Amino acid sequence: KAGVTQTPRYLIKTRGQQVTLSCSPISGHRSVSWYQQTPGQGLQFLFEYFSETQRNKGNFPGRFSGRQFSNSRSEMNVSTLELGDSALYLCASSLGLSSGGADEQFFGPGTRLTVL
Amino acid sequence: QKEVEQDPGPLSVPEGAIVSLNCTYSNSAFQYFMWYRQYSRKGPELLMYTYSSGNKEDGRFTAQVDKSSKYISLFIRDSQPSDSATYLCAMNKGGGTSYGKLTFGQGTILTVHP
């Protein structure tokens, strides 16, 4: 069974630009969660999508947005990039069980974004 | 103060040692507890998943949860150089408000030397 895939693996952008990252979940998984990982803040939750709907959102500014398609693939977008957005962006897929917590998340390899 | 605290280490042990990794948390609403392993330049890999208090064993790994003390542990027996990685604890409250949201510790960097 193929794992979670993320594209691209590496990105270099300049301040003020926007970027779109893509995530393909494990086959059969309907939930996709996005996280930002930095040395200072660790792994922080951005948002979660299930059946094309955002069910949960973390404490990030509106410049961070996402969407999910009918095949469960997901994209996240960051507009007006800032230097502080440099990070590893990880997505995780799961079955999306309604109980919320009883839902194992499997992570992709991440997209490393560098903002110059 | 962070909801989940984890000693970042680094922790260095000889091959064959028993390793103990720990996290404390402040929010009693957490019900689901996980340990992930992350190798350099890779995504986190799920090692252990437990619900509420108790122990769970899987091969060389044992996870313990003590909800009364708000304390979780991961023990690695007979540690190997291939166990060298960053270990992250993660938690979820369960229920509708927690969909997809794992709260992570900072991660402990572990090195097992031959």
Q: How far is B90 from chain A (nearest CA, A)?
A: 10
**Nearest by Cα to B103 from B48, B20, B22, B25:** B25
Query: Taking Cα atoms as reference points, which of A81, A85, A73, A70 lies closest to residue A18?
Result: A81
Instruction: Tally Cβ neighbours within 10 Å of residue A92.
Output: 28
Of the candidates A45, A50, A96, which has its C-beta nearest B102's C-beta?
A: A45
pLDDT tens readout for residues B18-43 = 999 999 999 999 999 999 999 998 99
Residue A66 has pLDDT above 60, yes or no: yes
Strands A111-115 and A10-13 come out as parallel
CA distances from B18 to A13, B15, B72 (A): 44, 9, 16
Percent of chain A scoring above 90 in pLDDT: 89
Question: Binning pLDDT at 50, 70 and 90, where does residue A99 land?
Answer: low
Give residue B16's pLDDT band: very low, low, confident or very high (50, 70, 90).
very high
The residue of chain A with its CA nearest to that of B32 is: A101
Residues B56-76 pLDDT 10s: 999 999 999 999 999 999 999
